Amino acid sequence: MNSKKIVIMIDDKGEVQVEAFGHKGGSCTKATDPLTKALIGGVIEDRKKPEFYQNDVTIKVREFE
């Protein structure tokens, strides 16, 4: 099971970077949006990692006789 975390970095110039780890699909955006809005008023630059394009879906299969 992958753990999910969000890292917030603030440099000495006051620039804020919010990065999500362990999230797939749009869950990273849902997790980081409230923080980004609270810290800097919204997203200035958005860079999507490959995980954004992956689905966070579990498929359950049942067999019927």
pLDDT (tens digit, 9 = 90+) per residue, 16-52?
Answer: 888 888 887 778 888 888 888 888 887 777 788 877 7
- Position 57 scores a pLDDT of 60
Q: From CA 44, how far away is CA 1, in angstroms rounded?
A: 32
pTM of structure: 0.62
Whether 23 contacts 33, CB under 8 Å: no
Tell me the pLDDT band of 59, cut-offs 50, 70 and 90.
Answer: low
51 against 10, higher pLDDT: 10
Whether residue 1 has pLDDT greater than 60:
no
